[in-house]
Amino acid sequence: MAVENGSGMRRGHLAAVVLARGGSKGIPLKNIKKLSGKPLIAWVLRAALDSDAFDSVWVSTDSDEIEKVAKDYGAQVHRRSADVSKDNTSSLETIQEFLQHHPEVDIVGNIQATSPCLHPEDLIQVVDMIRAQGYDSVFSVVRHHLFRWREVEAAGEAAVPENLNPACRPRRQDWRGELYENGSFYFATKELIVRGLLQGGKMAYYEMKPEHSIDIDIDLDWPIAEQRVKRFGYFGKGTPTEVKLLVCNIDGCLTDGRVYVNQEHEIISYNVRDLDGMRMLQDNGVTVRLISERNISPALVSSLNLQCEVQTNVPDKMAVLRSWMSEMGLSLNKAAYMGCSSSDVECLKLVGTSGVPADASTAAKMSDSFICTRGGGRGAVQEFAEHIIDLMRSGR
């Protein structure tokens, strides 16, 4: 039983429990499908473990494959019974069974595996609300600025607004919006859970940032989650990412892909912001090299006035990339690549950090790469350079 000590702090065993059934109907084995290079469940497990806020971190599953991944990422595993592994089994029932097998647990933090942008700071603050502020249950919410209308049930029935006056619609900046559960986590004491409640007693909500609030339910959610986690996910603590080489495709990344031709000359254009981005990388110890499939003339390359090695007329970009990495003695996670076309896809998939302009081909965008908001020749290289620097400094 969770009790208070003399200082008013609630003590007792606090366990993080991630429910991860193997029989997901929407996306088979969704909980361990790769999201930005890591199993989906790994994102929340890393946040929970790195928070140092829990006495134990568990995954409740009926799957051998999920059990292996959970252990690989540092969690303990509770093998749930078949009785609580059905399509219609509720989270509450599954947590109640967990508590029957683990009577030492006094407080449960039920964390959803499908919320990959969860950060340790969120969990630390919620645990403080439970332990220091005396709340019996805390759940996550996100603020939405959405106008609600009552559902029309009969033909001819008039639509009725529920949270606005259509004659005086508020501007977003003049309206605080409304709070909605986002399903990221539910914390509750054992006493509440045994009584059949995940929310009750002295209740509180914890408002998460909108950019951290995402839930994956169906396939269509996956590409959105990929981009959200790359920009706003928690990438773990420890040694910062070390990038030593950036290889960038000239055509469509440094340039907008257009070539101007007259009878004597070929002309391409580039954005000076991208040169600033490359110099910033070089100032941070990153070697920058450029590559092109086209047979660009040496004079044209020289006219770009770029202080880096350039290789053109390249039929096999992968071979050149591997050659440069071997020359520098680099492992995959220390190389970065920026491309935009189908011929770049294998290189984008090979390296540890990859990026594409906003107007890259669909195949390049689907390569699990950072997608810039700017197009090729319009500052995309600078944006990707800033992303690399951010990763290096933040330990992602």
169 catalytic residue (yes or no):
yes
Residue 197 forms part of a structural domain? yes
Q: Which residues of the chain register pLDDT less than 50?
A: 6, 239, 396
**pLDDT for the residue 221:** 82
Q: Answer yes or no: do 211 and 272 share one domain.
A: no
Catalytic residue among 11, 79, 150, 169: 169
Q: Answer yes or no: do 322 and 250 share one domain.
A: yes
**pLDDT for the residue 26:** 64
CATH value at residue 165: 3.90.550.10
Tell me the two tokens of residue 351. 């390296």
Helix runs in the chain, H state only? 40-51, 64-72, 91-101, 120-131, 190-194, 221-232, 272-283, 298-303, 317-328, 345-350, 362-365, 380-394
Q: Answer yes or no: do 15 and 138 share one domain.
A: yes
3-class SS of residue 61: strand
3-class SS of residue 123: helix
Domain boundary among 184, 200, 232: 232
**pLDDT for the residue 261:** 67
225-to-40, 231, 376 alpha-carbon distances in Å:
10, 10, 24
**pLDDT for the residue 239:** 45
Q: Answer yes or no: do 88 and 220 share one domain.
A: yes
Q: Are 188 and 198 in contact (CB under 8 A)?
A: yes
Q: Answer yes or no: do 181 and 262 share one domain.
A: no
Domain that holds residue 336: 245-394
Residue 237 forms part of a structural domain? no
Amino acid at 142: V
Q: Answer yes or no: do 17 and 70 share one domain.
A: yes
Percent pLDDT > 90 in the chain is 62
Give Cβ neighbours of residue 64 (< 8 Å, ≥ 6 apart): none
Q: How many other C-beta atoms can be found within 10 angstroms of the C-beta atom of residue 372?
A: 24
**pLDDT for the residue 246:** 96
CATH value at residue 334: 3.40.50.1000
Residue 240 forms part of a structural domain? no
Q: Answer yes or no: do 145 and 26 share one domain.
A: yes
Tell me the two tokens of residue 84. 């609580």
**pLDDT for the residue 304:** 67
Domain boundary among 232, 267, 287: 232
Tell me the two tokens of residue 378. 């319009």
**pLDDT for the residue 48:** 97
Q: Answer yes or no: do 49 and 194 share one domain.
A: yes
Number of domains in the chain: 2
